Structure 1
Amino acid sequence: MDDRSKHDHRAWEEVVFAARERARTRQALMIDRFGLSGDVQDEWSMDDARITWSRAGKVFLAGRLTVIGSVGIPRQSWLRTWANESPPPAALGDIERVRRFGEENGYPVLPWPGFNHHPELVAEARMVAASVLDAEGLWADSTDDVQLHFLVHDVDPVAG
């Protein structure tokens, strides 16, 4: 996308508003419905794009992940998953649809491979990605040098 293309900021704000409302509703529903508060631990794997949640060492819930981006902790820069060579293909899911949605609608923040970390802009990009890919929820986790941002799909209780 040509960064000089005309950007309709009002249209972007409308998309963000709708995505934010959708994300809040779906996130709250996911947390309430599946009991994802309190003493819950999560474990995820990018190799198979899966996340599980457990309580007292017993897994009770599983879902599929799409890694949407990362924030480098020392440099504070946002990097889109599709612009990063390290995630395995399974973790990318349909993330390419988010980039195309941005290109087709003139929303440059979505097809940019990365940018200096601005918390509100990262939040907007995450919520719009969740809307475009019909995610059940958003999840994030930090390692020593990076904060990873995920979409959560296909959440199901684990028989135990």
Structure 2
Amino acid sequence: MARVEHDHADWQAVVDAAHHRAAERQERLIGRLGEDAQYSWDLEQGAITWSRAGAEFCRARLTLIGTVSLSESTWLWSWANDSLPRSAVGDMDTVRQYGELHGFPVLPWESFDHHPGLVREARLVSAAVLDAVGLWTDQAGGIQLHFLLHDLS
């Protein structure tokens, strides 16, 4: 495949459109979940559930976008992490391919130094490319996990 040169203006336009799209979807998601919901996610199942007073009221398919090692301050895309179950990675390879096709370097890099703004942009564009209904973040030990949500029911 021929190498496409990075055009920062194109990248910024994609990020801006993805941000607008995600903001609307996040607002709907937060409205649906409320502030008192508990949650539980499972990478093997590729699912997240929300409950209130012990009763499940919402479920979604989960895709792990990537992780931030807080001790090393690095980002690792899920598509580059061989230790993850396939159910957790979903279609993230499509995001990598989108980056290669359009010359957006951050998307096909296996990892990079953690810069919150760059991670935010990567998350937003991933959500747009894979038509996610929402974004979710959690922390387990020294790892920050960034998820896409799909098929909310």
TM-score calculated relative to the size of structure 1: 0.92
Q: Which runs of 5+ in 1 are unaligned?
A: none
The equivalent of 2:14 in structure 1 is: 15
Q: Does 1:66 align with 2:63?
A: yes
Cα distance in 2 for partners of 1:27, 1:11 equals 24
What letter corresponds to residue 131 of structure 1 in structure 2? A
Deviations 1:6-54 (A, max 9, x none): 210000000000000000011111221x2x2321111000001000001
Q: Where do 4+ consecutive residues of structure 1 move more than 2 Å?
A: none
Where do 1:1-160 residues align within 5 Å? 6-32=5-31, 34=32, 36-156=33-153
Cα distance in 2 for partners of 1:5, 1:133 equals 22
Q: Which runs of 5+ in 2 are unaligned?
A: none
TM-score calculated relative to the size of structure 2: 0.96
Root mean square deviation, CA, Å: 1.5
What letter corresponds to residue 44 of structure 1 in structure 2? W
Identity %: 52
Maintained 8 Å contact 2:4/2:102:
no
Cα offset for 1:98?
A: 0.3
Deviations 1:57-94 (A, max 9, x none): 11110000010100001111000001111210011111
What letter corresponds to residue 134 of structure 1 in structure 2? D
Maintained 8 Å contact 2:15/2:124:
yes
Cα distance in 1 for partners of 2:86, 2:106 equals 23
Cα offset for 1:5?
A: 5.7
Aligned length: 153
Cα distance in 1 for partners of 2:140, 2:86 equals 20
Cα distance in 2 for partners of 1:19, 1:5 equals 21
Deviations 1:89-138 (A, max 9, x none): 01111101000000000000100001000000000000000000000000
What letter corresponds to residue 17 of structure 1 in structure 2? D
